[in-house]
Amino acid sequence: MHRIRKDDQVKVITGKDAGRSGRVVKVYLDRDKVLVEGVNYVKKHERIQQERGGGQGVGIIETEAPIHVSNVQPICPSCDEPTRVGFVYETEGDRRSKVRSCKRCDSTF
């Protein structure tokens, strides 16, 4: 189980976009990075590609780049604050499930 998942609200804590928040669009598990909506824009230079018919995506394009997981904190839905994530086991009958919990308010999400 991972601390940050797709569709989580996160806040950037370091780097050029420190203090900004957004929704996680994609999680790259193999690289320990997340793609956050509206954060970490980079300029990418594109050139004409012959097989696509040309002219599509030509010039300097601004796109979002992935950010390392250690540079973002998830925002707790209960207390609306950036928080550290802990894990708690909940029992439901004879089943046990591992869920994420907020270290500030001890609620699960």
pLDDT for 29-59, tens place per residue? 999 999 999 999 999 998 877 665 555 667 8
The predicted pLDDT at position 99 comes to 94
Q: What residues have CB less than 8 Å from 52, skipping those under 6 apart? A: none
User: How far is C-alpha 51 from the geometric centre of its chain's CA atoms?
Assistant: 34
Q: What is the pTM of this model?
A: 0.81
d(CA 88, CA 99): 5
Q: Which residue positions in the chain have pLDDT lower than 50? A: none
Both tokens assigned to 65: 């780049």
Domains and CATH numbers, the chain: 1-75 (2.30.30.30), 77-109 (no CATH)
